[in-house]
Amino acid sequence: MTVSYTKKVSDCKGFGSYWRLLFRWRGSLYKLVWPDTIVYIVLYFICSMVYRFGLNEMQRRIFEQLSLYCDYFRNLIPISFVLGFYVSVVVDRWWEQYLSIPWPDDFALLCTTYIRGPGERAKSIRATLIRYVNLTCVLTFSAISPGVQKKFPSYKEMLEAGYLTPQEQRALEIQKGRTSVNLCSLPLMWCCKLLEGSRTLGDLRDDMGLRLLVEEVCKLRDKAGMLIRWTDISIPLVYTQVVTMACYSFFFFSVLGRQFLDPSQHYDNRTIDFFVPIFTLLQFFFYMGWLKVAESLVNPFGEDDDDFELESILERHMKMTYLLGDVTPTEDPLATCDDLAWEKLCPGVLTVPATDTSFLSDLARVDQIRQNGASYHRTENVNRNDLKRNHDVHRGSSPSRDVTRPCSRADDQETLVIPNSQPKPDRLDLFWEEVDLSPQRSTPRGSINLVCPPTLSTSPATTPTNPTLPPFTEVAPEELSKPCVNQTRDIRLRGAGEDSRLEGVVNPTYLQD
């Protein structure tokens, strides 16, 4: 499996917090490049010993010219570009292959949700469905992974491991002799047939569950087929050959080109003789390690340190699906105790105080008024300042209002008016706004007042569409100087005609056609 080190670097505090990763061997760069590094060092020092102790003066000059020539032309190889693009393609492909691995957890959860019933029949159906899905994973992994192939070389080992029954083993062997295609999808076909039969017999809850389960089976088949295609279709061989030849030829010529030459000859950049090529070894270490990363990730289903351990994934699939599929005996927490965590996290959210019963009387009053045929209206307090704004009241039109003046909740009052059977007066249009008293609305926004003049009839025998006010009376001039109170009073129009103005009105209830 891919070497995990995230827990080791959970924080980056201090100096050199990532240095601890440099001293790990499994999955490390040293483990990949040490054979090539040893070969390179041996070849380099052989050439160095021959140059220093095995050649005469004339032969040394020839060797020096050859070294300068190799050093010049080896720099023309675009090794950084070739390696960078190749490793990028390989890493993207490596991650896509991991995402293509089938994970049957969702299928097991859907089986638990939709295949329920008394007795052992539903449990047996779930166990069979889960076994078919795991058998598909075994057949797929054994076709692409040498490790799984060693563990399950034939159907006999799958039978012994519990993935197959003798009848299913014979069916697979017969189909293998008839066709050359991979049989990893055959158990999924058995799975779909079993789902269809379970729906017919009523073991599957509904058609929606059948649809979801079949869709999940198709997703698993797509992923299994994608893994097979990833293995069959590789990165073009010519590209792999180009990268390998470029990298190895670069360092082959560096064995001659990076030799330390005689400083007395005053060659460019060859004035010091260190004997040990430190920077050349670092260059080899990095470039060769870059190539080894690509080589180890080209096929992530092998046996390298960074390859996917499909054997462990198969074992995990079997245990997890049998657990989520409600096949393994488990204790149901929903059937044994209540959810105590909710009260700990959110105390008092679901509790209504026993002393808070004020809303009950309001609801009872509203229900009583609704039974008597009452309508719920909204009225506005109109004081003398409002009258000075010359709000025109025309017949058949709504009163204008200064929207720039800030309003407060104290200016509004909500009133319950019980309609009567009196006819509507013809000389004045009254405006009203009806508000729904359906159960969706919880509590009114203001106080609720019952306004029922003595002259109004509360009998529900006749309920006109629009409620009306009692007959109008003349308003005395001295009444206008009194402060406004929150009550309904009679109003009288001064003058006649369409352009009449409202004067001396204190908190009227506007009624509109």
Q: With contact defined as beta carbons under 8 Å apart, do 317 and 104 qualify?
A: yes
Residue 136 CA to residue 184 CA, distance in Å, equals 5
24-33, 387-396, 434-443 — which is least confidently predicted? 387-396
Residue 487 CA to residue 510 CA, distance in Å, equals 13
**Maximum mean pLDDT: which of 18-27, 122-131, 425-434, 474-483:** 122-131
Residue 280 CA to residue 252 CA, distance in Å, equals 12
Question: If DSSP codes are grouped into helix, strand and coil, which group holds residue 127?
Answer: helix
Residue 129 CA to residue 356 CA, distance in Å, equals 55
pLDDT at 490: 43
pTM of the model: 0.62
Q: With contact defined as beta carbons under 8 Å apart, do 373 and 463 qualify?
A: yes
Q: Nearest Cα to 301, choosing from 231, 355, 238?
A: 231
pLDDT at 393: 41
In the DSSP assignment, the letter for residue 43 is: H
Portion of the chain with pLDDT greater than 90, in percent = 34
Residue 145 CA to residue 140 CA, distance in Å, equals 9
Q: Nearest Cα to 50, choosing from 255, 336, 348, 207?
A: 255
Question: If DSSP codes are grouped into helix, strand and coil, which group holds residue 413?
Answer: strand
Query: For residue range 406-436, what is the model confidence (pLDDT) as tens digits?
Result: 444 444 444 444 444 445 444 444 444 444 4
Query: For residue range 35-56, what is the model confidence (pLDDT) as tens digits?
Result: 999 999 999 999 999 988 888 8
Portion of the chain with pLDDT greater than 70, in percent = 61
pLDDT value at 462 more than 90: no
**Which token pair is 441?**
């609305």
Question: If DSSP codes are grouped into helix, strand and coil, which group holds residue 428?
Answer: coil
User: What is the chain's alpha carbon radius of gyration, rounded to the nearest angstrom?
Assistant: 45
Residue 71 CA to residue 61 CA, distance in Å, equals 15
pLDDT value at 268 more than 50: yes
pLDDT at 361: 58
Residue with the two structure tokens 């020539």: 69
pLDDT at 435: 44
Q: With contact defined as beta carbons under 8 Å apart, do 413 and 380 qualify?
A: yes
Own/partner pairs, 256-259, CB within 8 angstroms, 24+ separation: 256/47, 256/66, 256/67, 256/70, 256/71, 257/67, 257/68, 257/69, 257/70, 257/71, 257/72, 257/74, 258/44, 258/71, 259/44, 259/47, 259/48, 259/51, 259/63, 259/67
Dihedral, 92, 96, 98, 104 alpha carbons, nearest 10? 160
**Strand positions, DSSP E, 366-460:** 375-380, 412-417, 434-435, 448-451
Q: With contact defined as beta carbons under 8 Å apart, do 82 and 291 qualify?
A: no
Mean pLDDT over the full length of the chain: 74
Residue 103 CA to residue 126 CA, distance in Å, equals 17
Strand 412-417 with 448-451, pairing: parallel
Residue 55 CA to residue 49 CA, distance in Å, equals 9
CB atoms within 10 A of CB 119: 7
Q: What residues have CB less than 8 Å from 355, skipping those under 6 apart?
A: none
Q: Nearest Cα to 133, choosing from 219, 226, 205, 196?
A: 219
Q: What residues have CB less than 8 Å from 203, skipping those under 6 apart?
A: 115, 117, 121, 122, 125
pLDDT value at 509 more than 60: no
pLDDT value at 461 more than 60: no
pLDDT at 118: 63
In the DSSP assignment, the letter for residue 264 is: G
Residue 216 CA to residue 195 CA, distance in Å, equals 12
**Which token pair is 339?**
């959810």
Sign of the torsion angle spanned by Cα atoms 483, 486, 487, 490: positive
26-35, 57-66, 286-295 — which is least confidently predicted? 26-35
Q: What average pLDDT does this structure show over 82-111?
A: 93
Output phi, psi for 375, to 5 deg.
Answer: -115, 150
**Strand positions, DSSP E, 418-471:** 434-435, 448-451
Strand order in the sheet with 412-417: 434-435, 375-380, 412-417, 448-451
Partners of 115 in the beta sheet? 204
Q: Which H helix or E strand runs over 339?
A: none
**Which token pair is 126?**
């779930």
pLDDT tier, 366 (very low <50, low <70, confident <90, very high otherwise): low
Query: For residue range 373-385, what is the model confidence (pLDDT) as tens digits?
Result: 544 444 444 444 4
Residue 186 CA to residue 189 CA, distance in Å, equals 5
- 394 vs 88, higher pLDDT: 88
Residue with the two structure tokens 């299994």: 224
Partners of 376 in the beta sheet? 416, 435
